[in-house]
Amino acid sequence: MRRDPLRDPIRFVDERTGAAPFARKALRYLFPDHWSFLLGEVALYAFVVLVATGIFLTLFFEPSLAKTVYDGSYEPLRGAEMSHAYRSAVELSFDVKAGLLFRQTHHWAADVFVAAIVAHLLRIFFTGAFRKPRELTYLIGLAMLFLGLLEGYLGYSMVDDLLSGMGLAIGYGVALSLPLIGGNLALLIWGGPYPGDPAFESRMYIGHVLLFPAILAALIGLHLALVAARHHTQFRDGRGQTGRRLVGVPAFPGQAPRSLGLLCAVASVLFLLGGLVQINPIWLWGPYETALGTNGAQPDWYLGWLIGGLRLVPGFDVVIGDRTVVPNPFWGGALFPLVVLAVLVAWSWIDRRITGSHGVHNVLDRPRDAPLRTAFGLGFLTWIFLVFFAGSSDRFFVFLGISYEAQIWFWRFGVWIIPAIVAVAAFRSCRALQQFERVEATREAAEEEARALSAPPEPERAQPRG
Amino acid sequence: MRFLRRLVGLFVAARTVRELARRPDEEPRIVEPGEPDPRAEAAVIVLLLLAAAAAVLFVVAYALEWSTQVLGGALGASLALVAAALLVVGARLVVTEELAEEYPRTGTPEEQDAVARIVRESGSRFTRKRLLGAAAATAGGALGAALVTPALSLGPALDTSQLNETPWRRGLRLVDRDGRPYTAQDIEDAFYTAFPEGADPKAIGSPIVLVRLDPGELRLPRGRERWAPDGIVAYSKICTHAGCAVALYRNPKFEPAQPDRALVCPCHYSTFDVATGGTVLFGPAGRPLPQLPLMVDAGGDMRAAGGFSGPVGPSWWGVRSS
């Protein structure tokens, strides 16, 4: 028999696995051609870069709070007492070849990962892609977003620099504030009163490098499997798309080079950022101790909304008699993100109620097609964004001299009023756009009719009415 | 002649075999044909070679310990060039025809029915299903609880009273981070961090802030008249809001000397009045900073005159509210 370098290995695999029919289907899986469908892929590829760079970092990072004295090549910290965690992170940055590149790329990739998920979520939300039969895909996506936030928080918390410690103190305060179980839960997680048991560092570490990445990877697999099982949604833009007929470019050869190109482009941008743009210069913060804090401490962007929430709440604890029942951090640090998550989770059901549409939706809405959803979504997004923005009021005080307290008072009302205005404006804009399209359609129909009337009559080929 | 006929026969047979072997190529194509594009191919080759060059530059930069910027730039450039090559391949060298296909069916009722029947019919020998279900739920719940119980090893979860504990006792000296005792003369119009002598400085109940005020400015709550010798007041340095260190001291040194002196937490800007016993002036904190009563011993060293006025650090369900 003649040898065929392509068919022989395919036959070898197929005869032993029966995979050929599956592979053929996978190669001809159709991807609708729209730029906004790449946002989820950007998140996926950022995750790939996170895993790759993260593995490198684990080979040098020592997750231990045991004391040591720094004697590496960074002069200002020499002789300082610090934990092995912080020392190894600083050494990784200065004394391991390419270590700083990988650490910074890892950090940038985390920021881009969450940003891409959020952008992807907005696309899914405002086009109604979360609707039946894709509700589970949507819920898994939300789970990944919130796991991503936790994963990022753990990642920068275990370095044990000053910024880490301040973030952990806040995390402890928020955990303590949970009604009824807060005190017990915080003691369990930290292994004792703050700063907790030395094993707390190991707990963060195993969570960050194994437990949560493994869950994320499993959820990514499930998410993609569900997307493939129901196929992609699509816009109806005159290329023959309907709710039953999917139009797209096959995975191979059309989509594959684009998608691989996107992987390389994402990795390229992340390594360029990691090499050229400094992020989280931990050596400047110094080692953490319970008694230390610094002004101008800001977390990574994706936790900014929680800082804003914590800062905006007026100063009160819910107290019964002489006992605190609900401590203040609960509102901004726990209830706020839980409400955001709950609204997003419930939205696939709420949307069904307000649109009254229970069917299968393979064709996407344009935002104007669903004015209530768009109005609510924009109002909701504005609310979260303004709380996020209010979290940077201290920077506006420092740079522009605007009174911090005046800003906070402004936002305490603004975060409710402005989203309401945005929602009403969005609703009216959607309606106006719909109206405009109806008028356009009527005008075009009238012009068509006028053309038909002015054309010479063709009595013999007249079409029957109807 | 026979030989010649055989030869022709062989020739025909060989041609047939060759035809047969070639036939797969003549099957109808699955992927649409397209025109070759030699310029695009040349561009891809150039881009890939440049990517290789950038990758080599990365290795050289690594070996010669060039800067992080060169490392990241070279690796990023190499990846960007591969991305560009792939995009040219996608745009010019492979067919990107759009195809159409039916969406998969949403739900297969006959299979759903079969699954339900298999499960239901499999249970037809059970007569007391509810009782069995209850027993199974009991076993599952108890076993689940048993398996979760070891999680309690994580921490002393049941005893929240230790969240309250601080090392401060009457008579303990105030020392700085290096263990040197503070005397009353050390405290000027500034901001000091102190710890209990001999205790773990990292415990949440350890760090305090010391500030000196004019005794006439003090408006401490009743019962704390003797807590601030020479106008020196001490508060827990841990914010009662979310547990950060209250690391900022607002202390206007020239006119306008407003707003007044206060301790500020840099995390969420809870602002505490130093003159009135740590009461909240602004921000999210729900209760005052706990104050530590002070005394000055015969040698001039500062000592604690008792424990804090309230629980230290962030609040939890059931903690004393002041």
Q: What is the pLDDT of residues A162-216, one digit of tens each?
A: 999 999 999 999 999 999 999 999 999 999 999 999 999 999 999 999 999 999 9
Q: Kindly state whether residues B178 and B299 are assigned to the same domain.
A: yes
Q: Is B96 on the interface with A (CB under 8 A)?
A: yes
Mean pLDDT within A61-75? 96
Last residue of a domain, one of B48, B63, B95: B95
Q: Which residues of A91-108 are buried (b: 16+ CB within 10 A; e: fewer)?
A: bbbeebebbbbbbbbbbb
| Count of Cβ atoms closer than 10 Å to residue A402 Cβ | 12
pLDDT at A71 over 80: yes
Tell me the C-alpha to C-alpha distance, in Å, between residue A43 and each of A148, A217, A267, A300, A423: 11, 12, 11, 17, 28
Same structural domain, B286 and B183: yes
Residue of B195, B267, B322 to mutate, interface with A, max A Cβ within 10 Å:
B267
* Cβ burial, residue B209 (10 Å; 0-12/13-18/19+): buried
Domains of chain A listed by start with CATH number: 25-285+300-365 (1.20.810.10), 368-445 (no CATH)
B159 Cβ contact partners less than 8 Å away, ≥ 6 residues apart: A187
Does residue B178 sit in the same domain as residue B52?
no
Which domain, by its residues, includes B188?
163-322
Residue B151 in any domain: the answer is no
What is the ipTM score, two decimals?
A: 0.91
**Cβ atoms of residues B88 and B40 within 8 Å:** yes
**Range 111-150 of B in CB contact (< 8 A) with A:** none
pLDDT at A466: 42
Task: Give, for A329, the enclosing helix (H) or strand (E).
Answer: helix A329-329
Q: Is the pLDDT of residue A463 over 70?
A: no
What are the tens digits of pLDDT across the range B58-78? 999 999 999 999 999 999 999
Say whether both B84 and B212 belong to one domain: no
Question: Is B190 found in the same domain as B71?
Answer: no
From the list B73, B83, B104, which residue is nearest A275 (CB)? B73
Query: Average per-residue pLDDT in chain B?
Result: 91
* Residue A450 Cα, gap to closest chain B Cα (Å): 36
* CB within 8 Å: B103 and A191: no
Q: Which of A11, A176, A255 to mutate to test the interface with B (most CBs of B within 10 A)?
A: A176
Please give the average per-residue pLDDT across A385-413, as a whole number: 94
**Residue A30: its H or E element:** strand A30-31
In chain A, % of residues over pLDDT 70: 97
| pLDDT at residue A461, rounded to an integer | 52
Asked, for residue B291, whether it belongs to a domain, the answer is yes
B240 in Cβ contact with B270 (< 8 Å)? yes
**pLDDT of amino acid B164:** 86
**pLDDT of A292 over the 50 cut:** yes
The answer as to whether B152 is a domain residue is no
Per DSSP, the residues of A234-271 read B--SSSS--SSEEEEEEIIIIIHHHHHHHHHHHHHHHH
**Domain-located, residue B320:** yes
CATH number at residue B234: 2.102.10.10
For residue A298, give both structure tokens. 């800001």
Residue B15 pLDDT: 62
For residue A319, is pLDDT > 80?
yes
Total domains present in chain B = 2
In a domain, B88, yes or no: yes
Containing H/E element for A68? strand A67-69
Q: Is residue B62 part of a domain?
A: yes
A vs B, Cβ pairs < 8 A, gives 317
Copy the structure tokens of residue B33: 């044909």
A96-110 residue pLDDT tens: 999 999 999 999 999
Given an 8 Å threshold on Cβ–Cβ distance, is A98 in contact with B71?
A: yes
Residue ranges for chain B with pLDDT beneath 70 = 1-26, 257
Assess whether B230 and B322 both reside in one domain.
yes
Residue A6, chain B, CB below 8 Å: the answer is no
CB contact under 8 A, B165 and A292: no
Q: Does A207 touch chain B (CB under 8 A)?
A: no
Both tokens of A27, joined, read 């190669």
Mutate to test the interface with A, among B244, B287, B292 (most CBs of A within 10 A): B244
pTM of the complete model: 0.92
Residue B134 placed within a domain: no
User: Which of B50, B72, B95 delimits the end of a domain?
Assistant: B95
Residue B220 Ramachandran class (φ > 0 left, ψ -120 to 50 alpha, else beta): beta
Token readout for A51 is: 């895993």
The first and second tokens of residue A330, run together, are 């609960």
Tell me: pLDDT of A45 over 60.
yes
Q: Is residue B82 part of a domain?
A: yes
Give CA angle at A190 (A186, A191), nearest 5°: 105
* B54 and B201 housed in the same domain: no
Band of pLDDT at residue A422, cut at 50, 70 and 90: very high
**Alpha-carbon B63 to chain mean position:** 34
Q: What are B35-52's pLDDT values in tens digits?
A: 999 999 999 999 999 999
pLDDT given at position B256 = 73
